[in-house]
Homo-oligomer: A and B are copies of this chain.
Amino acid sequence: MVDIESLGDWRRTHYSDMITPSLRGTEVTIFGWIQDLRDLGNIIFVTLRDKEGLVQITATSKNTDAETFAKIKSLGRQSTVGIKGLIAERSEAPKGVELIPKEVRILNLAVPPLPLDPTGRVPAEIDVRLDARVLDLRRPEPQTIFRIRHEVLAGIRKFLSEKGYLEIHTPRIIAAGAEGGATLFTVEYFDEKAYLAQSPELYKEELTSVFEKVFEIGIFFRAEESHTRRHLNEFISVDVEEAFVEARDVMVLQEELLVSILNRLTTRCQEQLEVLQVKLPNVHLPLVRYSYSEVIDQLKQNDFKVEWGEDLSTPAYRALGDLHKEVFYFITEWPTKVRPFYIKPKAERPEICDAFDFMYEWIEITSGGSRVDSKQQLTKRLEDQGLNPESFDFHLSTYDYGMPPHAGWGMGLDRFVMALLRRENIRDVVLFPRDRLRLKP
């Protein structure tokens, strides 16, 4: 029986990546998990993982006292330990350095058998991985993905803040949905029935009349029935909205954001991108803009059955991904009737609206457009789409306070990261994904 010890007054002095030959002879305290252990009798090689990487611990019955040596011998994989020891050079070890342990504290034991191998040597199915997600995330690939995701988020906020957009937080529990009731989750709000917001759409539009340029990055909800590799029921949306501009202006913003993030990752995440074997795409601005009509023609020319006016189906999108050589592009000028009520129809040709999608191959990353700014037109558009204007009374009333012309977009952060890192399944870039079949862990 191994006793669990407490942290006591031990505190980390070094991470694994700081253990270098130049520190030879230095006493350090490190913490981490047993990644691997080779017990050769009188010598034990331990690989310890911490958040920065791996370090080799070499215990010999000669260099390490009997009690500590026995303790190390008892360690199972993924158990949590603290180790005090001396740094020594060792040419055979990774990075040419190892730690000679002087004192070990066993902080917790992993209980075998583990449901999957967190070194990544034995591949596991996605559902096994997601069931034991915390263990799965210890593999080098997810570790790397979430460090890059952190950089993407920081880069987006920096880009938008520097351009003068104000960060906002809009409600998640709402009385009416921005896009109708089909994909809303219901919440019991005390004695009332309420819904979970699908987007900050109407709130961010209203706030352009106050702050002019706003953004929100947050979790939103969609009661999506379809179980695909690019849909989740909880997702992070990056929303931007701006007064006194049109769709074409915020499309330029989207392009510039893309380039800004690609540059940031190139500068700051080269090592991580190599772990993932990802080469970032070369992007030249302006990106190609295909109109919806052009896209329909392209599909028809390639014998794809589709009619002008239809929304694009998944097979149609997949065909477009094959037809277009660009990694990123826009589709613009959609039929008004397949777009939400808040998108502005073209004055000169109202069956077309000023909407756009920002595409990664065959997957939509961002949807945006110029918004309706007249109360009368908005009321009409609600009615045309079978929605009850009375449910939107609070929103409509804000149009009486002087609504500016405005435009904006909502980008799926998870899809954006998926595109940048060329992952096949959105679940690989989300810590604890939620879908039709998965509410746990």
Contacts and interface: CB of A to CB of B under 8 A. Distances in A.
B110 A401 contact: yes
Nearest to A432: B171
Nearest to A31: B244
A348 to B, nearest CB: 11
A274 interface: no
A80 B218 CA distance: 30
A252 to B, nearest CB: 11
A161 B154 contact: yes
One complex includes copies of this chain to the number of 2
B173 A434 contact: yes
A85 to B, nearest CB: 16
Contacts of A319: none
Interface residues of A, number: 98
A439 interface: yes
A171 B234 contact: yes
Contacts of A146: 166, 168, 211
Contacts of A243: 31
A403 interface: yes
A199 interface: no
Given A134-B207, A150-B161, A170-B431, 5 more contacts: A7-B405, A149-B167, A173-B221, A173-B233, A394-B440
14 contacts: A11-B244, A51-B213, A78-B401, A107-B405, A114-B401, A137-B210, A138-B210, A171-B434, A172-B219, A173-B221, A173-B439, A174-B439, A186-B188, A398-B441
Interface of A: 4, 6-7, 11-12, 31, 33-34, 50-51, 78-80, 82, 107-111, 114, 118, 132, 134-135, 137-138, 143, 146-147, 149-150, 153-154, 157, 161, 164, 166-175, 185-190, 192, 194, 196, 203, 206-207, 209-213, 218-219, 221, 223, 225, 233-234, 236, 243-246, 249, 347, 373-374, 394-395, 397-405, 430-432, 434, 436, 439-441
